[in-house]
Structure 1
């Protein structure tokens, strides 16, 4: 049992799980826009997410020596370096425009992590900004990059899916912010810190209603009600599952509540979809 827990902790702490979530959303985008399987962009998203999340989580702590280089952390650093090399390999398989935009998102990541200006905090510590940066980056990596790499023309469906994906990630981050409320620096001005847990949950429910409503509206505008019944059903299932996780979120939940179960939602969404194909 102890070995299983160590493996699970390494799986979560090394960001493999969040990388799989990003990979699953890229695959969902490819399904939604009828893009043939594109391993390069999906694998780039997977390894790039692992590298990026580990950099954000461990960079400041290791630079300031606040985190002892235990055996697990050394393995995570080694694994992150391997992920960096693999992300670089797939990066050079992407189209030039996708590479340029990927570098732009890397710039956002660096701004989020490193204090570029003297006596200024990084973007991660800017009051109330974190949740928007995270949601924006996920939209970019899981929707914009796959579509550009596949040369898919941009239409109304693209904008609807971007807003939906932003809402989904935003609400998932709300669950994280509720769980982390007692540990977060008050200066971060997270949503629960600003409006309280109750109103944060209400905001999340409203956004999930919009999330579902956008799918109906998009289907109506594009006249494809008959071709997306499965997609509509899955959208509602995902919204209900996220709403339940949001409803039961509180400061006393274990780290696995968010770091494993909440981050599993995109993975199960994708696996459920492919199991029905």
Structure 2
């Protein structure tokens, strides 16, 4: 049992779980927009997500990510570098258009993590900016990247899907923001620090309603989309309802981050049921 727990904790700590969540959202985009995304882009996003997330988590200061003393973190570091090598190999198969967007997303991620400003260590140090950057990067990686790799132009439905994905990630970040309230520096001025736990949850409810409502702005709406989004809407509301400052160990790190996988499974099951 101890070995299983160690493997599970490594699965979470090495960002494999969150990378699977991102991977699943790319496929949700493909299913939603009815496009075929090349397998190399899937692999790049999955393995690149592992490396980037671990860099942001463990290497906010670059020298700490290079000179690792802790054996457990060193194992994660080696695993991350291996994933980055695999992701780098996939770059040879991607188009120039995808490269441009990858550069933009990589630049934003770097500004988020690295100390590039004189008065702020990095962009995440700006009050209230952290969750907006994370949501924007997720939306760009899981909607815009797969869309521009196939489509010649950004259609209305792609724009709506991007806005929805941005809101979806903001909603998922609410439990993390509330969980970290007791650890975050007051200088960060996070959402719970500004409006309190209940105020943050109310904002989360508002984002959830907006996320669901703009589904009906799509021009290719069908019963599968409505059914999946309705179930997801209920799950997100229940998640926010259960969110508090005292959370069980895996509530945010596993169950909340599993919601994208749940969305993907809902889509797969719904598609099969309509065939």
TM-score (norm 2): 0.93
Which of 240, 248, 256 is equivalent to 2:250?
Answer: 256
Q: Following the alignment from structure 2 to structure 1, what is the Cα–Cα distance between the partners of residues 60 and 212?
A: 38
**1:92 equivalent in structure 2:** 92
Taking a change above 3 Å as real, the CA distance of residues 141 and 268 of structure 1, as seen in their structure-2 partners, is same
Alpha-carbon shift at residue 68 of structure 1 (Å): 6.4
1-structure distance, mates of 2:165, 2:37? 20
Call closer, same or farther: CA 1:158–1:78 in 2, change over 3 Å.
same
Aligned to 1:229: 223
Paired residues of 2:172 and 2:256 also in contact (CA < 8 A): yes
CA contact 1:62–1:68 (8 Å) conserved in 2? no
Say which of 233, 237, 245 aligns to 1:243. Answer: 237
Moved over 6 A (4+): none
Per-residue CA deviations over 1:184-214 (Å, capped at 9, x if unaligned) read 1111111111111111111111111111111
Shift of 1:75: 1.1
Unaligned runs of at least 5 residues, structure 1: none
Q: In the aligned structure 1, how far is the partner of 2:53 from the partner of 2:134?
A: 11
Shift of 1:152: 4.7
1:269 aligned residue: 263
Alignment of 1:116-135 (within 5 A): 116-135=116-135
In the superposition, the TM-score normalised over structure 1's length comes to 0.92
| Aligned length in residues | 270
CA contact (8 A) 1:208 1:239 kept: yes
Question: What RMSD over aligned residues (CA atoms) do the two structures have, in Å?
Answer: 1.7
State the alpha-carbon separation in 2 of the partners of residues 198 and 120 from structure 1: 29
Say if 2:208 is the partner of 1:208: yes
After TM superposition, the structure 1 stretch with the greater mean CA deviation from structure 2, 257-266 or 84-93, is 84-93
Provide the residue aligned with 1:148 in structure 2: 148
